[in-house]
Amino acid sequence: MQSPIAILQSHKLRITDCRLEIIQEFLDKNIALSHSDLEETLKQQFDRVTIYRSLKTFLDKDLIHKVLDDSGATKYALCSHGETVHDHSHEHVHFKCETCGETTCLEDITLPQVKLPAGFEKKEMSLLVQGVCEKCH
Amino acid sequence: MQSPIAILQSHKLRITDCRLEIIQEFLDKNIALSHSDLEETLKQQFDRVTIYRSLKTFLDKDLIHKVLDDSGATKYALCSHGETVHDHSHEHVHFKCETCGETTCLEDITLPQVKLPAGFEKKEMSLLVQGVCEKCH
DNA sequence: GTTTATGCAAATTCTTTGCAATACT
DNA sequence: AGTATTGCAAAGAATTTGCATAAAC
């Protein structure tokens, strides 16, 4: 299905060890990851800066997106697990477990229309639900 | 209505200049503020650390809450502007303007019920809408 | 008078930048 | 070969901690 190499190629990015491992980690874990999460878990040891720059590049190329988090940590997740890259789901729904701290994407949930006050233009919506996940019950 | 002194007293907190000014700033601006926002705008010059600790104390006492932000900055807003301190506090709806960067609370909007997958327990929900506010149009 | 908050110094963590060396296409 | 990425050093934010002084109750 989705291989790290294919993902990089489809975003016209050069294939490097660091990038491959980061993407692999996102695919494996399937939860939102922060820079320090990656720094700790990547098998190979990469420079902190390299990981920062990889994340920035991925953000710029819409390969990952930021996931809201209340802890102050900046977390990221892969965009559109499926194939539709252009579809640009500007709606993000995530669940963060207060016990284990893991943030997962709730794929199936669609956000209702929100009617904003006059003069406000909506471009993007993110819903973060916090509670306890099934693993921690 | 809501005076900084009354707010501190009702939360059983000592009344100090720094705390009063921080609360006054939240009341005046009525937008989510970060530590550095406060550091820049408070009339009196307080130590960075004092502001950090005031915010932490306010968080602990549920006088303020964190407001989600994609920029990495940790922002805060007063809890329950009105008097109703009951259940509504567990739903936050905010609008962040991509142009001016200001985050405002959308009081009137109520979040729809979200049905989580089995095993997930919901405790809190935060919706962040991003776009352009009326001032920036 | 006791308790709590403040200011200062300093330590940590988080993130960015410049530059030469290296790897990718 | 030419361009982009990496690693290293170092700078700059953001946040936390310890301790003596000062302020609040």
- CA distances in angstroms from B40 to A131, B19, B25, B36, B44, listed in the order given: 35, 15, 11, 6, 10
pLDDT per position as a tens digit, A21-36: 999 999 999 999 999 9
Which residue in chain A has the smallest CA separation from B66? Answer: A70
Average pLDDT across chain A, whole number? 90
Over range B97-106, report the average pLDDT. Answer: 94
Residue B59 (CA) to nucleotide C9 (C1'), in angstroms, measures: 26
pLDDT per position as a tens digit, A72-120: 899 999 997 554 444 445 788 999 999 999 999 988 787 877 888 899 9
Which residue in chain B has the smallest CA separation from A128? Answer: B126
Asked if residue B109 has pLDDT above 90, the reply is no
Q: Looking at residue A108, what is its pLDDT?
A: 79
CB contact under 8 A, A126 and B68: yes
Q: How many CB pairs below 8 A link A and B?
A: 112
Q: Looking at residue B137, what is its pLDDT?
A: 87
Which residue has its C-alpha nearest to nucleotide C6's C1'? B50
Over range B88-99, report the average pLDDT. Answer: 84
CB contact under 8 A, A129 and B109: no
Asked if residue B10 has pLDDT above 50, the reply is yes
Residues in chain B: 137
Residue ranges in B1-108 assigned as alpha helix (H): 4-10, 17-29, 35-41, 48-60
CB contact under 8 A, B119 and A98: no
Taking Cα atoms as reference points, which of B123, B103, B109, B97 lies closest to residue A111?
B109
Within 7 Å: CB of A71 and strand C?
no
Architecture of the B4-131 domain: Orthogonal Bundle (1.10)
CB A15 within 8 A of CB A44: no
Over range B91-119, report the average pLDDT. Answer: 89
pLDDT per position as a tens digit, B58-91: 999 999 999 999 998 999 999 975 444 444 457 8
Q: Which residues of B touch A74 (CB under 8 A)?
A: 72
Average pLDDT across chain B, whole number? 91
Residue B56 CB neighbour total at 10 angstroms? 11
Taking Cα atoms as reference points, which of B40, B25, B31 lies closest to residue B102?
B31
| Sequence ranges of the domains in chain A | 4-131
- CA distances in angstroms from A5 to A16, A109, B14, listed in the order given: 9, 29, 58
| Percentage of residues of chain B with pLDDT beyond 70 | 93
**A interface test, pick of B113, B127, B135 with most A CB neighbours within 10 Å:** B127
pLDDT per position as a tens digit, B29-57: 999 999 999 999 999 999 999 999 999 99
